[in-house]
Amino acid sequence: MNSKYRALVVDDENLARQDLISILEEFKEIESVGEANNIVSAKDAVEKLNPNLIFLDIKMPGESGFDLLEYISDNIYIVFVTAFDEYAIRAFEVNALDYLLKPVTKERLELTLEKLEENEEKKQEELKELDFDDQIFLKLNSKYHFLKINTIIQITSEGDYSKVQTKNGNISLTTKSMKEWENRLPINHFIRIHRSTIINTDEVDRIEPWYNNAHRVYLKGTSKPVVMSRRYFVKVKEKLQ
């Protein structure tokens, strides 16, 4: 079976596990690869079975399904399955994909599958390289905007955020990481010159030597140069020749 989702079912009640596994068998996109009745066995199952989807009971004797989250990758989809609805807010605070109340029905699982597909499409979109003339919709500071890629002068790391400077002089914070920017920006126009800086090469005015084999990069429309570390200099030199 080449199912898209490899599901692990975690519940202390055997009957609840079997009922859910039985319903999952009706979905060709989901393969039930294992089950666990507590957090310890769930941790072992995650390591051995490599699921990308976990149906997780919350209230188990002496422990909580939330306890498992610190041991698993953020790439694994979590669907909480419980007889209690008071945990719903916390479930979504930890980025759970869905929250199902027992008894789970096939019709309700169909909605969960739709959410899975929507998230997968979003992930693929986030991985796609942008064109120089593209624009993206993202939150800058506290409001959502369409940002034209070719208007970006530089992007710098700002803790858990990144800071985007554009040709009109605006400087805005966004939640996109430097790694995501580097993966998505068109490589013919953008390059990383420092661990904390990505620049638009079309906006380079000049590059001057600095101390300790580093360089300073002057960008059009900006008065303050940015530092290019020596480890990036060779790459940048090849790109700009």
Residue 22 pLDDT > 70: yes
Domains of the chain: 5-127 (3.40.50.2300), 135-240 (2.40.50.1020)
Residue 1: what pLDDT? 47
- Rounded to whole angstroms, the Cα distance separating 186 from 229 reads 21
Distance from chain centroid for Cα 72: 15
- Under a CB-based contact definition with an 8 Å cutoff, are residues 43 and 71 in contact? yes
Which is it for the CA torsion 55, 60, 64, 69, positive or negative? negative
Residue 239: what pLDDT? 67
Highest mean pLDDT among 88-102, 113-127, 185-199: 185-199
DSSP string, 16-50: HHHHHHHHHTT-TTEEEEEEESSHHHHHHHHHHH-
Residue 47 pLDDT > 90: yes
Query: In this structure, how many other beta carbons lie within 10 angstroms of the beta carbon of residue 58?
Result: 22
Phi, psi of 227 (to 5 degrees): -85, 135
Strand partners, 144: 139
Residue 2: what pLDDT? 62
pLDDT tens per residue, range 68-111 = 998 888 789 999 999 888 888 888 777 899 999 999 999 999 99
- Rounded to whole angstroms, the Cα distance separating 224 from 227 reads 10
The encoded tokens of residue 5 equal: 């989702």
Residue 162: what pLDDT? 93
- Under a CB-based contact definition with an 8 Å cutoff, are residues 146 and 136 in contact? yes
- Under a CB-based contact definition with an 8 Å cutoff, are residues 60 and 54 in contact? no
Q: Tell if the pTM clears 0.75, that is, is over it.
A: no
Which secondary-structure segment (H or E) carries 53?
A: strand 53-57
Residue 92: what pLDDT? 77
